[in-house]
Amino acid sequence: MANFLSLIQRLWKRLPFRHVLAATVLLSIIGEQYPFSNFPMYSSLGDESDVLYITDQTDNPLPMHTLFGTSTSTQKKVFMTELKAICNPKDRDTSDALPEERSQAGAALMEKLFPRLKRHELDELGRNVTALKIYYKVFQLEAGDIAGSKPMLVAERSL
């Protein structure tokens, strides 16, 4: 046994880039556990992509980062997390979510987002904003061109 371990040790020491290899295997096994990550960005290239954005009462987009200090991509992930929590227990994928389920997830997102609104930034826009709306939109490839779905209203709240 001692000889075997010694052999393994000798082989390990002769392995080129052994520390990177060990770190790579470790990161791959641990996965997404901060600060560790397997950096899965754009690893699954699906047939569609999606965006989430915020508008005023007349559906004119508002700058999410300026007004809330967070990005639309981050908030879309939060929305999808909420939607998964609603759909997955019913054995359905988020792409099969019903409008009322999207509204439920959107309401949960609005609940979290609303307290972060920077009123002074909103005032500086110089628009008469009386309500906030959250829209969700899907892009798909159709005959070689990208087509966007009709934006889905998932939440609305008066100011």
The binding site for another protein (CB under 8 A) comprises 10, 13-14, 16-17, 19-21, 23-24, 26-28, 32-54, 61-66, 68-78, 81-82, 85, 112, 116, 139-141, 144-146
**Closer CB to another protein, 1 or 19, in the complex:** 19
Of the pair 85, 131, the CB lying nearest another protein is at 85
- Smallest gap from Cβ 118 to another protein, in A, equals 10
Q: CA-CA distance, 51 to 134, in Å (whole number)?
A: 11
Least Å from the CB of residue 145 to another protein: 7
Q: How many other CB atoms are found less than 10 A from the CB of residue 151?
A: 17
Nearest approach, Cβ of 13 to another protein (angstroms)? 4
Residue 100 C-beta: closest distance to another protein, Å: 20
Q: Which is nearer to another protein, 13 or 119 (CB)?
A: 13
What are the C-alpha distances in Å from 134 to residues 6, 36, 42, 129?
62, 32, 25, 14
User: Which is closer to another protein, CB of 114 or CB of 159?
Assistant: 114
Looking at the DSSP assignment, which residues form a beta bridge with residue 48?
A: 140
Nearer of residues 63 and 99 to another protein, judged by Cβ: 63
Give backbone dihedrals phi and psi of 146, rounded to 5 degrees, phi first. Answer: -90, 125
Q: Are residues 135 and 75 in contact, defined by beta-carbon separation less than 8 angstroms?
A: no
Closest CB 54 distance from another protein, rounded Å: 7
Contact 56, 127 (CB under 8 A): yes
Q: Which residue has the tokens 């569609």?
A: 48
